[in-house]
Amino acid sequence: MRLEMRLDAVLSRFGYCSRREAAQWIKRGRVQVNGVVAKSPTAKAAPAAVFVDGQPVEFPDGLYIALNKPLGCTCSHREEGELVYDLLPQRWLNRADGVSTVGRLDKETSGLLLLTDDGAFVHALTSPKRHVPKVYEFECSAPVPPSAVTLFASGELMLNGEHTPCLPAELVITGECRGLLTLHEGRYHQVRRMLAAVGAPVTVLTRVAVGPLKLAELNLAPGEWVAIDPALFS
């Protein structure tokens, strides 16, 4: 629970409007604290006690979102074309603590992507020490050799341009040209590069789980998101 803050600071910090506009909103009676219409932008309240137009301030203790990333959008704030951030409400993007993705998925990879405005959460989940398992479902344009199962599990696969071998990863071959790969790290284009290294170029790639979160259990159509409990990852 965050400490008390000035009401105009609450409204701007959580992306509703500027401090100057907040004074107008309060004057018009749009802001309540514990059910009582607020009178002054300088009055203080805990963000969780503040309501705007009858609705509680969103995510006063941090924004934690699971998105079903569609194909074709990019995990970047800057690139051309459609961005994952275009899928979120503008108010979230206006929050003082900027929203970012927890790691990245390629433009042509779909599936489970976490977003947050909590930098410590990003750090904790992407830290190489944490080894949060991420499960990818893939299809290839050539058969996956059964020998890849032991190679990937060995912790000895060296990808081009890398100085250390990949951490042991679990490969389950579910069809001649398809399977599931669980990684405990996140290198650039890792799934595609690992499968290319065994002669099975990836044609379709979806992330289906991150730690305890499973895309199938979230019931999200591509482009949809849901708030999650960060304690799932503690």
Q: Which residues lie near ligand URA (CB under 6 A)?
A: 105-106, 109, 189-192, 205
Q: What is the DSSP letter of 163?
A: S
Q: How far apart are CA 190 and CA 5, in angstroms?
A: 44
User: Which residue's CB is nearer to ligand URA, number 6 or number 104?
Assistant: 104
Q: How far is the CB of 207 from ligand URA (least distance, A)?
A: 6
Catalytic residues, which ones? 106
Count of residues in the chain? 234
One-letter amino acid identity for 84?
V
How far is it between the farthest Cα atoms of the chain?
A: 70
Q: How far is the CB of 16 from ligand URA (least distance, A)?
A: 34
User: Which residue's CB is nearer to ligand URA, number 106 or number 139?
Assistant: 106
Q: How far is the CB of 178 from ligand URA (least distance, A)?
A: 15
Task: Give 5's strand partners.
Answer: 45
User: Which residue's CB is nearer to ligand URA, number 33 or number 213?
Assistant: 213
Q: How far is the CB of 101 from ligand URA (least distance, A)?
A: 11
Q: How far apart are CA 79 and CA 72, in angstroms?
A: 12
Nearest one of 166, 233, 193 to 109, comparing CA atoms: 193
Q: How far apart are CA 71 and CA 126, in angstroms?
A: 22
User: Which residue's CB is nearer to ligand URA, number 118 or number 137?
Assistant: 137
User: Which residue's CB is nearer to ligand URA, number 12 or number 110?
Assistant: 110
Query: Six-digit token pair at 212?
Result: 């305890």
Q: Own/partner pairs for 213-219, CB < 8 Å, 24+ apart? A: 213/66, 213/112, 213/114, 214/112, 215/68, 215/111, 215/112, 218/66, 218/68, 218/112
Q: How far is the CB of 197 from ligand URA (least distance, A)?
A: 12
